[in-house]
Amino acid sequence: MISTIQATDRFENTEFSNEVLDGMALPLTTAYTCSQCGTQIGFHKRDFETGAREHRSNLKPGVARLLDEFAREHIPDTRDFLDWVCPQCGLAARVYVRFWAGGKHGDAGVSLLSVIEGQPDTDEVRG
Ligand SMILES: [Zn+2]
């Protein structure tokens, strides 16, 4: 079973940029909380930048294909994403991101949009 969730429901922070507001740099890290076992997985802004741009996938090919198919029907922008497997329970997860550039100081950033998760206890995902 695959489900889609807002990134804000899983990540403590979903917006990254190089911008400095009132002398304070915005946070460059975030943590995902596994919906199945509660494990927190930390990410750095550069994880999204390098992983998503290179379209690397850490998932088994069968799992990645299922998420791809699901995303084509449910996710509006499937261009850039990062995926991983929960080290504790094996839940396969992927976050779709959007890169942006612009602003007053030529800032660039990343927004985390949608998460999809695949339960590992189903035959489709296990394969
Ligand atoms: Zn987990």
pLDDT digits (tens, 9 = 90+) for 40-85: 999 999 999 888 877 778 898 889 999 999 999 999 889 999 999 9
Q: Which residues of 31-46 are buried (b: 16+ CB within 10 A; e: fewer)?
A: ebebbbeeeebebebe
Distance CA 20, CA 22 (A): 7
Distance CA 42, CA 65 (A): 25
- Whole-number average pLDDT of the chain: 87
- The reported pTM is 0.86
What's the CA-to-centroid distance between 46 and ligand 1, angstroms? 23
What's the CA-to-centroid distance between 121 and ligand 1, angstroms? 12
What's the CA-to-centroid distance between 93 and ligand 1, angstroms? 10
Contact 107, 17 (CB under 8 A): yes
Enclosing H/E stretch for 125: helix 123-126
